[in-house]
Amino acid sequence: MFFQDEARFGRIDNTSSCWVPPGGRASVGKQTIREYLYAYLAVCPQTGENYSLIMPCVNKNCMNIFMQGVSETFNNYRIIMAMDGASWHSECSDEKCENIVPMLLPPYSPELNPVENLWHHIREKGGFKNTTFHSLKDVELKLTQILKELDEETVRSIALYKWINQAIC
**DSSP codes of every residue in 24-86:** ------------EEEEEEEE-TTT--EEEEEESS-SHHHHHHHHHHHHHHTTT--EEEEE---
DSSP H or E run through 102: strand 100-104
Which phi and psi angles does 100 have, rounded to 5°?
-120, 130
Would you say the pTM of this structure is higher than 0.95? no
* Residue 119 within any structural domain of the chain: yes
* Residue 74 within any structural domain of the chain: yes
* Residue 137 within any structural domain of the chain: yes
Q: Say how many Å lie between the first and final Cα of the chain, rounded.
A: 12
> pLDDT tens digit string along 38-59?
999 999 999 999 999 999 999 9
Instruction: Print the domain residue range for 66.
Output: 2-10+32-168
* Residue 20 within any structural domain of the chain: no
> pLDDT tens digit string along 109-139?
989 999 999 999 999 888 787 777 889 999 9
19 CB-near residues (< 8 Å, 6+ apart): none
CB 69 within 8 A of CB 75: no
* Residue 127 within any structural domain of the chain: yes
* Residue 27 within any structural domain of the chain: no
* Residue 136 within any structural domain of the chain: yes
Q: How many domains does the chain have?
A: 1
Query: Could you tell me the CATH number of the domain that includes residue 54?
Result: 3.30.420.10
* Residue 49 within any structural domain of the chain: yes
